[in-house]
């Protein structure tokens, strides 16, 4: 009988308001150690099981998840850096875009 290792589901959301809008889980299938990662994204903040049942679901490889992690890390760093520079008036005018509001 084939064996599996299940990580459980980890919810994620707004750390300041303690709300969740998604989750991630993983299964490792033996004997080949195939890794299956499922990412759940919900458009509204929900509680535990509601997120999983009504979410958009994406199946990713570990390499794709690592790529997503790196992209998120970069965008978070860029946001922090640009916000800091803007608050110090150190961004040139061409760094800004203007919107019709």
33 vs 36: CA distance, rounded Å? 10
- In the chain, DSSP finds a helix count (H) and a strand count (E) of 2, 4
Taking a C-beta distance cutoff of 8 angstroms, is the pair 24, 10 a contact?
yes
Domain ranges of the chain: 1-60, 62-91
Going 41 to 59 to 69 to 76, the CA torsion angle's sign is: negative
Model pLDDT for residues 39-89, shown as the tens digit of each residue:
999 877 666 667 677 789 999 999 999 999 999 999 999 999 999 999 998
Total Cβ atoms within 10 A of residue 23: 20
Model pLDDT for residues 60-72, shown as the tens digit of each residue:
999 999 999 999 9
Against a cut of 0.85, is the pTM above it?
Answer: no
């Amino acid at each position: 009988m084939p064996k599996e290792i299940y990580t459980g589901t980890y919810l994620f959301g707004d750390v300041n308001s303690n709300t969740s809008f998604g989750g991630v889980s993983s299964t490792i299938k033996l004997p080949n150690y195939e890794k299956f990662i499922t990412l759940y994204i919900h458009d509204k903040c929900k509680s535990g099981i509601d997120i999983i049942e009504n979410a958009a679901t994406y199946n990713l490889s570990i390499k794709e998840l690592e790529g997503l992690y790196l992209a998120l890390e970069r965008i978070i760093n860029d946001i922090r850096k640009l916000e800091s520079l803007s608050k110090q008036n150190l961004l040139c005018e061409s760094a800004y875009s203007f919107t019709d509001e």
